[in-house]
Amino acid sequence: MNKTLKRILGGTGSLARDIIEYLREAHEMSAEVCFSTTFGARPGRAYYKRQSVYNTFSRLQKQGYLRKERRAGKKAVYKLPTVVRKELEAFERLTLKHRSSANWDRRWRLVSFDIPETQHKYRDTLRWKLKRLGLEKFQQSIWLTPYPLEDDFQQIIAEGGLQDCVFIIDTDRIPNEIKWRRCFQLTNYS
């Protein structure tokens, strides 16, 4: 995983993340739409001031995370560069296999990581993704799931050069198993 994705996904709940995620779905956005409605007052969503939105777009563009194109009539359109889009798609491939209590194979997966402070943005990104996948925090830097992780999880960890920092432990027993079965709604098993 390159520095681009680490920086984009490093902060949770940020305007930069909102912009990147919006562009990932919409593929492009005009400056007028961006500054008027998309990141303005929205029910149930964060409100960003026009100057903050402008500054964030400008910073993301300077850092190479956005590309600004001029269209007929001198209208500006923002897009994600291809390299950024590919990195985001690779990160989104991370999924859990058979995520259903009916398919539980009676095994637990512990994801443990010790990522150096120099790569703290990747550590934050990994935590965000593990939480989004439905894993629960077992202990500090150890996350738990009863469902297998897809093979691409290991591949993406390897692409980031973190195979020595992130470990997946597959076991049939964990402490306080009853508590964790309840947490994952695996009550049909004894």
- pLDDT, tens only, 1-48: 455 555 556 554 577 777 787 787 778 887 666 666 556 555 555 667
In a domain, residue 130? The reply is yes
pLDDT at 174 (0 to 100): 95
Q: Is the pLDDT of residue 90 over 70?
A: no
C-alpha–C-alpha distance, residues 172 and 106, integer Å: 6
Same domain, 30 and 101: no
CATH number at residue 147: 3.30.70
Query: What does the chain come to in residues?
Result: 190
pLDDT at 177 (0 to 100): 92
Angle 86-20-140 from CA coordinates, rounded to 5°: 85
Same domain, 36 and 82: yes
Q: Tell which residue, 138, 124, 128, has the closest CA to residue 184.
A: 138
Angle 184-152-18 from CA coordinates, rounded to 5°: 75
Calculate mean pLDDT across residues 138-153.
Answer: 85
C-alpha–C-alpha distance, residues 65 and 52, integer Å: 17
Same domain, 107 and 161: yes
Cβ pair 109, 180 in contact under 8 A: no
Strand order from edge to edge, sheet including 108-113: 136-139, 142-145, 108-113, 166-171
Q: Which domain holds residue 73?
A: 3-90
C-alpha–C-alpha distance, residues 48 and 123, integer Å: 27
Same domain, 99 and 150: yes
Q: Looking at 68-77, 122-131, 151-160, which range is the least confident one?
A: 151-160
Q: Rounded mean pLDDT of the chain?
A: 77
Q: How confident is the model at residue 61 (pLDDT cuts 50, 70, 90)?
A: confident
Same domain, 138 and 152: yes
Same domain, 111 and 86: no
Same domain, 17 and 76: yes
Where a domain ends, among 49, 68, 90?
A: 90
pLDDT at 1 (0 to 100): 47
pLDDT at 64 (0 to 100): 82
Task: Look up the pTM and report it.
Answer: 0.55
C-alpha–C-alpha distance, residues 5 and 86, integer Å: 10
C-alpha–C-alpha distance, residues 159 and 101, integer Å: 31
Calculate mean pLDDT across residues 45-69.
Answer: 80
Total number of domains in the chain: 2
Same domain, 150 and 170: yes
Question: 48 Cβ partners below 8 Å, 6+ apart?
Answer: 15, 18, 39, 40, 56
> Which DSSP category does 149 fall into?
B
Cβ pair 125, 10 in contact under 8 A: yes
The tens digit of pLDDT for each residue in 102-143 reads 678 889 999 999 888 877 767 777 787 788 778 899 998 899
